[in-house]
């Protein structure tokens, strides 16, 4: 049986070796690369992200990651964003008073959480919607988060809902609710780190890999 070919996009976002290893354990053949053709043509692309929104966007644009993501999604080819890799899929990020344009796959603003303590670091439950494929069988599990920023309001315009609307999973920290994951056709993203989330994260990644074309 041929293993799915997955590229973890290498754009300087930090230590991504744990994601590579977790995807390999999930059954994928994994390459860490910024090669445009390789990232465009693989079965599944993973966009990781650690650190500041603006720095991640600068790194993505430096390797033409915005073009790769856009081209893949236009062709219905799977993309998985992790942590800041979820955040950059939104329209804008605001950090320390500076607004940075994101990839704009979804409308919405990444902002500092209205919660204490920050960062939100550790294990937390999530609230997936009915019918979630990403969380099928692991709806009640806990996942590992490390972040101070997130999307606090889902603002998808109603005109998008003539098609199948994205499925949004929420989580809460310190009394503030934020987007924990989004399932939107070929584009799936999580605010938490599945590669650091034990058996539940392994199950999530395994399911994603097994569903690759």
Which pLDDT does position 157 carry in this prediction? 65
To the query of whether residue 195 is one of the catalytic residues in this protein, the response is yes
- 42 is a catalytic site residue: no
Catalytic: which of 83, 105, 173, 183? Answer: 83
Looking up tokens 């893949």 gives 72
DSSP per position, the chain? -PPPEEEEE-SS-S--HHHHHHHHHTT-EEEEE--HHHHHHSSEEEE---S-HHHHHHHHHHTTHHHHHHHHHHTT--EEEETHHHHTTEEEEEETTEEEE---SEEEEEEE-S-SSSSEEEEEE-BPPTT-STTTT-TT-EEEEEESEEE------GGGGGSPPPEEEEEEETTEEEEEEEEETTEEEESS-GGGSHHHHHHHHHHHHHT--
Kindly tell me the burial class for residue 134, based on how many C-beta atoms sit within 10 Å of its own C-beta (0-12, 13-18, 19 or more). Answer: buried
Catalytic residue list contains 114? no
Which residue of the set 120, 147, 173, 193 is catalytic?
193
pLDDT of residue 163: 65
Q: What is the spatial distance between Cα 106 and Cα 131, in angstroms, rounded to a whole number?
A: 21
In this structure, are residues 110 and 94 in contact, taking their beta carbons and an 8 Å threshold?
yes
| Phi, psi for 52 (deg, rounded to 5) | -80, 145
Q: Which of 185, 178, 189, 197 is nearest to 49 (CA)?
A: 189
- pLDDT at residue 160, rounded to an integer: 52
The whole-angstrom distance between residue 130's C-alpha and the CA centroid of its chain comes to 20
The model carries a pTM of 0.95
Predicted pLDDT of residue 162:
47
Tens-of-pLDDT digits for all 213 residues of the chain?
A: 789 999 999 999 877 999 999 999 999 999 999 999 999 999 999 999 999 999 999 999 999 999 999 999 999 999 999 999 999 999 999 998 999 999 999 999 999 999 999 999 999 999 999 999 999 999 999 999 999 999 999 987 655 554 678 999 999 999 999 999 999 999 999 999 999 999 999 999 999 999 998
pLDDT of res. 105: 96
| pLDDT of 14 | 77
Contact 97, 66 (CB under 8 A): no
Domains and CATH numbers, the chain: 5-210 (3.40.50.880)
Nearest to 45 by CA among 74, 19, 15, 78: 78
């Amino acid at each position: 049986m041929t293993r799915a070919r997955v590229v973890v996009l290498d754009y300087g976002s930090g230590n991504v070796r744990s994601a590579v290893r977790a995807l390999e354990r999930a059954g994928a053949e994994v390459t860490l690369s910024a090669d445009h053709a390789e990232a465009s043509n693989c079965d599944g692309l993973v966009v990781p992200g650690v650190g500041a929104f603006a720095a991640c966007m600068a790194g993505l644009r430096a390797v033409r990651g915005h073009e790769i993501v856009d081209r893949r999604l236009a062709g219905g080819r799977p993309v998985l964003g992790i942590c800041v890799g979820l955040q950059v899929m939104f329209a804008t990020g605001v950090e320390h008073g500076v607004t940075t344009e994101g990839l704009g796959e979804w409308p919405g603003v990444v902002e500092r959480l209205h919660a204490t303590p920050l960062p939100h670091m550790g294990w937390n439950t999530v609230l997936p919607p009915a019918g979630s494929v990403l969380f099928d069988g692991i709806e009640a599990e806990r996942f590992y988060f490390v972040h101070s920023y997130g999307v606090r309001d889902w603002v998808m315009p109603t005109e998008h809902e003539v098609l199948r609307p994205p499925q949004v999973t929420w989580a809460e920290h310190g009394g503030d609710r934020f987007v924990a994951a989004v399932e939107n056709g070929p584009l799936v993203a999580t605010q938490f780190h599945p590669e650091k989330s034990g058996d539940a994260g392994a199950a999530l990644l395994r399911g994603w890999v097994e569903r690759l074309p």
